[in-house]
Amino acid sequence: MTTIPVRVADVVDEADGIRSLRLVRPDGLPFGPHRAGAHVDVVGPTGVLRQYSLCGPPDDAASLLIAVKRERSSRGGSAALHEVAPGDELHIGAPRNLLGVDPDADRHVLVAGGIGVTPLLGMAHALHRAGADFTLHYFARSRSEAAFADLLETGFAGRVRLHLGVPRTGHAAVLGPVAAGLGPGAAVYTCGPEGFMDGVRAVFAPVVGDDRVHVERFTATEVDTTGDTAFTVALDTGEEFEVPADRSILEVLTDNGIEVFRSCEEGVCGSCVSGVVEGVPEHRDSCLSAADRAAGDQIALCVSRARTPRLVVELY
C-alpha cells in the first residue's frame, strides 16, 4: 500500500473515549478529492494500520478529519492514536469510497449508532452543502458519549435528531414513524454495531427495499465455508492459478509473488477490491454496496470466491 505522510494539526476530545484528529499535508498541498462516506488507512505511531472514516466536509481539500474511539481491547491501534499530539506525523493511504450517497435517491435518511456516526457525518456535510433532503438520526447511550453532538445540533439546520439513552429494543418505535413517512425514492444509510444495523434494516427495508438500505460495517460478517470448492483465478495478464477450497484468492496470489493491496483481510476495508473481467463472483465481503455486488464487476479478493469454475480478475 502506498501511503503519504500527514501531520496532526488538531486533536479534540469529541466524547468520552473519542478523539478527532485533523490531518494536513506537511507540504501544504491540498488532498485529492474523496466522496462522502469514504475512509482511509491510517498507520499510527506503533505501525499498526487501521481504517477510519473521513468525517469532515468532503470538499475540504485542506485537511482530513478522522475520529478515533479508544477500544478497551486495543492492541496498539486506537490507544496509540489517542496519544498523538499536534505536530506528530502519521501515514495514510488514499481515501477509499465505499459507502457513498445514492445518486438516484430523492430523500436520504442516515441512522448512526455510537461511533458509527463518523462516515454518516461526512455524508451529512455533503448532503447539507448540496441542499439535499436528509435527516440524520443518531443513537448514543448518553450525551457525553455522543461524538460531535454540538456540531450536529447546530451545524445542519435542524436536520439532526439525537436519540440519547434509547435501549436497542426501543429503536424500532423511534424509527418506525420515520420509515412510514418515506416514499420509494428514499435511501437509508446506517453505520453502527451489527445488531443495531440489523434493526435499522428490519425497519426500513420493507418500505424502501433492501437495496436502498446501505450498510457500512466495521467488522466482518460470519460466513459458512463448508461446501467451498476449488476454482481457477486468472489475471488479465494471462497468469492462472488454482484456488483450493481452503485458501483465498488473495493468499494464492500472494504465494505466487503477486502484490495485492490488503489491510483487514476480512472483507471489511476494501483494500483488496479488484475488477472482475470474466466469471461470476460469490461475494462474501462487507464492503461492497448492494449495487456493486449486483453489477458483479468487482470482488474482495481476501474473502470472496467464484460461482463459476474460472474467474478472470484485474488487479487495481
Question: In the complex, which residues of this chain contact ligand FES (CB under 6 A)?
Answer: 262-265, 267-272, 285, 287, 300, 302
Q: Work out the burial of residue 7: count CB atoms within 10 Å of its CB; fewer than 13 is exposed, 13-18 middle, 19 or more buried.
A: middle
> Cβ of residue 8: shortest distance to ligand FES, in angstroms?
25
Question: Judged by CB, which is closer to ligand FES: 109, or 302?
Answer: 302
Question: Judged by CB, which is closer to ligand FES: 201, or 262?
Answer: 262
263 CA to centre of own chain: 13
Question: Judged by CB, which is closer to ligand FES: 115, or 301?
Answer: 301
All residues at 6 or more sequence positions from 286 whose CB lies less than 8 Å from its CB, including other chains: 215, 217, 219, 220, 221, 266, 267, 268
- Relative to beta strand 213-216, strand 186-191 is parallel
Rounded Cα gap, residues 303 and 262, in angstroms: 11
> Cβ of residue 277: shortest distance to ligand FES, in angstroms?
19
Question: Judged by CB, which is closer to ligand FES: 36, or 49?
Answer: 49
> Cβ of residue 58: shortest distance to ligand FES, in angstroms?
22
- The residue type at 296: G
84 contacts 199 by C-beta, under 8 angstroms: no
Question: Judged by CB, which is closer to ligand FES: 190, or 304?
Answer: 304
> Cβ of residue 84: shortest distance to ligand FES, in angstroms?
24
253 CA to centre of own chain: 25
- Residue 66 has which C-alpha cell? 478522522
Question: Judged by CB, which is closer to ligand FES: 140, or 306?
Answer: 306
- The residue type at 99: L
113 contacts 197 by C-beta, under 8 angstroms: yes
> Cβ of residue 265: shortest distance to ligand FES, in angstroms?
5
Phi first, then psi: give them for residue 154, nearest 5 degrees. -110, -20
> Cβ of residue 113: shortest distance to ligand FES, in angstroms?
22
